[in-house]
């Protein structure tokens, strides 16, 4: 009975640690979107302020 | 609206860091400024600035502002600006602040009635972001009949105080405006790839403790969403909850800001994207100095507000552009 309870605790801890590791990897890796495929930046002309 | 006197003005500048030093030089070079008094607890830095400028620049001490002061520019580290602004308003001087700290921005906006009683203008957050972002949001809004959403983002840091603020912002709660109410979300969440003007280009940006929404929401009645993000690297995000591992650089490299407005033009939905690139300390100094000169030359509505609430924003934007901080527009994508 006690051994089963200890195993349950151990599995829970392992599951939490693995979950945290996966969350950390997901948080750090990847990108936030797709860059624009067309278009670009141009400076505003003075008459565009008026 | 209160107009300051026509003769050259006396200005007090709090802070002699990367931003403050540039503000002092820009103001002292203006024919509309008679005298600039600069204050900073670091006497070495103070001496360097005094030696590099002409006789119109002198050193001062403490927070008390002389009654002969026409305007004060507060470019001291975040957390110290509200007290300096209060002292300047008490002396009847118009004030320009540069803080991006959420708590301090709230404190400064809460001085609205005090500034009205003293018949002075208090400009809150007149830097690169907030500051130029607020001005560009105001400028972009003229192209839309109705603005539904404003999303601002920045990349890069100015001096050491700015770098520390950036580090703190990533590990603190953000303040966003969504569907008519404030939402607090964890800093470092909400990754979004933002495209900045060259040479910064694409950077992953995240929520952070940024004050832009506090300044933009009051200026755009009925707006549905306002968010602010800052660019960060993986190392920035991993080390955000920890103290800074090393002393920040004296000044960061080239940074950029980006303002995206979504709204309606007639029955169509439109997106306007404006931005600018500069060294953040230089960009902040240009905006703060131009705003101070705008206060001196043209006056400002009494009370506390951000630059998004300014009425004659075109003159100020034009002055900022003439000083080398040229706004850009992103063009060529399909409007939704």
Any A CB within 8 A of B199 CB:
no
pLDDT tens string B180-210: 899 999 998 899 999 999 999 899 999 999 9
What is the set of domains in chain B, with CATH numbers?
9-128+283-320 (3.40.50.720), 132-280 (3.30.360.10)
Q: Please tell me the number of Cα atoms within 13 Å of B99 on its side-chain side.
A: 29
Give residue-wise pLDDT tens across range B35-46.
999 999 999 999
Probe site for chain B from A41, A42, A43 (most B CB atoms < 10 A): A41
Minimal CA separation from A19 to chain B, in Å: 17
Contact A41 B197 (CB under 8 A): yes
Residues of A in contact with B198 (CB under 8 A): 41
pLDDT at residue B3 tops 60? no
Backbone angles phi, psi at A31, to 5 degrees: -130, 165
Find, among B123, B122, B12, the residue nearest to B64 by Cα.
Answer: B12
* For residue A25, pLDDT beyond 80: no
Question: Are A42 and B205 inside 8 Å of each other by CB?
Answer: no
Q: Mark yes or no for CB contact B329/A30 under 8 Å.
A: no
What is the predicted pLDDT for the residue at A1?
64
Q: Tell me, what's the pLDDT at B112? A: 95
In terms of pLDDT, which residue wins out, A30 or A45? A45
The residue of chain A with its CA nearest to that of B325 is A43
Nearest beta carbon to residue B331 from set A27, A40, A49: A40
Asked whether residue B63 carries a pLDDT value surpassing 70, the answer given is: yes
- Contact of B333 with chain A, judged by CB distance below 8 Å, is answered with yes
- Which residues of chain A neighbour B330 with C-beta distances below 8 Å? 36, 39-41
Find, among B214, B221, B333, the residue nearest to B273 by Cα.
B333
SS3 B253: coil
pLDDT digits (tens, 9 = 90+) for B114-163: 999 999 999 999 999 999 999 999 999 999 999 999 999 999 988 888 88
Question: B193, A34: Cβ pair inside 8 Å?
Answer: yes
- The mean pLDDT value of chain B amounts to 91
From CA B114, how far away is CA B303, in angstroms rounded? 8
**pLDDT band of B335, cuts 50, 70, 90:** very low
pLDDT recorded at residue A31: 63
Residue B278 has pLDDT above 80, yes or no: yes
**pLDDT score of B6:** 57
For B232, the closest chain A residue by CA position comes to A28
| Among A32, A42, A48, beta carbon nearest to B192 | A32
- Bridge partners, B328 (sequence order): A43, B275
B236 touches chain A (CB under 8 A): no
Work out the percent of chain B whose per-residue pLDDT is above 90. Answer: 72
Instruction: Look at A43 and B331 and tell me if their CB atoms are within 8 Å.
Output: no
Angle made by CA atoms B204, B253, B325, in degrees to the nearest 5: 95
Q: Would you state the pLDDT for residue B238?
A: 80
| C-alpha span between B63 and B68 (Å, rounded) | 15
The 10s digit of each residue's pLDDT in B212-250 is: 999 999 999 999 999 999 999 888 888 888 888 778 887
State residue A49's pLDDT score. Answer: 64
Q: Which residues in A have their CB inside 8 Å of a CB on B?
A: 27-28, 30-36, 38-44, 46, 48-50
β pairing state of B225-231 and B202-207: antiparallel
Q: Closest Cα of chain A to B333: distance in Å?
A: 6
Rounded Cα distance between B89 and B115, Å, is 6
Give the C-alpha separation, B283 to B122, whole Å.
20
Give the pLDDT confidence score for residue B240 in this predicted structure. Answer: 84
With CA atoms as reference, the chain B residue closest to A47 would be: B318
Q: How far apart are the first and last CA of chain B?
A: 40
Say which DSSP state B199 is in: T
Q: Tens of pLDDT along B94-110? A: 999 999 999 999 999 99
Q: What is the pLDDT of residue B4?
A: 52
Confidence of residue B336 (pLDDT cuts 50, 70, 90): very low
- Does the beta-carbon distance from A49 to B318 stay under 8 Å? yes
Q: Which of residues 81-110 of B touch A (CB under 8 A)?
A: none
Indicate yes or no: CB of A30 within 8 angstroms of CB of B234: no
What confidence tier does B333 reach under pLDDT thresholds 50, 70, 90? Answer: low
State how far the Cα of B21 lies from the Cα of B260, in Å rounded to an integer: 31
Alpha carbon distance B84, B115 (integer Å): 13
């Amino acid at each position: 009975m006690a051994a089963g309870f200890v195993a349950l605790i151990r599995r829970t801890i392992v599951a939490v640690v693995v979950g945290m590791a996966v969350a950390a990897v997901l948080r750090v890796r990847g990108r936030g979107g797709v860059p624009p495929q067309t278009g670009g930046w141009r400076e505003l002309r003075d008459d565009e302020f008026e | 609206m209160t107009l300051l006197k026509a003769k050259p003005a006396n200005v007090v500048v709090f802070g002699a860091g990367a931003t403050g030093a540039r503000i002092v030089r820009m103001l002292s070079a203006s024919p509309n400024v008679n005298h600039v008094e600069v204050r900073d607890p670091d006497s070495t830095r103070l001496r360097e600035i005094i030696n590099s400028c002409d006789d119109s620049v002198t050193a001062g001490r403490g927070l008390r502002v002389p009654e002969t002061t026409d305007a004060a520019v507060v470019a001291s580290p975040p957390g110290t600006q509200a007290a300096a602004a209060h002292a300047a308003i008490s002396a009847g001087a118009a004030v320009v602040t540069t803080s991006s700290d959420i708590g301090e921005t709230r404190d400064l906006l809460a001085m609205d009635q005090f500034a009205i009683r003293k018949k002075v203008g208090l400009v809150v957050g007149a830097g690169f972001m907030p500051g130029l972002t607020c001005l560009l949001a105001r400028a972009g809004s003229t192209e839309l009949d109705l603005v539904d959403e404003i999303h601002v983002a920045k990349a890069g840091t100015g001096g050491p105080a700015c770098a520390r603020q950036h580090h703190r912002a990533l590990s603190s709660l953000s303040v966003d405006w969504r569907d008519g109410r404030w939402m607090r979300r964890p800093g470092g969440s909400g990754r979004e790839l933002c495209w900045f003007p060259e040479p910064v280009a694409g950077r992953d940006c995240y929520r952070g403790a940024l004050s832009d929404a506090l300044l933009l929401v009051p200026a755009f009645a009925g707006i549905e969403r306002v968010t602010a993000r800052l660019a960060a690297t993986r190392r920035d995000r991993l080390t955000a909850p920890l103290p800074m591992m090393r002393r920040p650089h004296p000044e960061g490299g080239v940074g950029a800001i980006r303002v995206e407005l979504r709204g309606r033009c007639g029955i169509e939905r439109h997106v306007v994207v404006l931005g600018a690139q500069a060294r953040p300390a230089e960009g902040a100094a240009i905006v703060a100095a131009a705003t101070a000169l705008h206060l001196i030359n043209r006056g400002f509505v009494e009370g506390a507000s951000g630059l998004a609430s300014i009425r004659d924003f075109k003159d100020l934007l034009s002055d900022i552009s003439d000083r080398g901080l040229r706004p850009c527009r992103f063009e060529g994508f399909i409007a939704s």
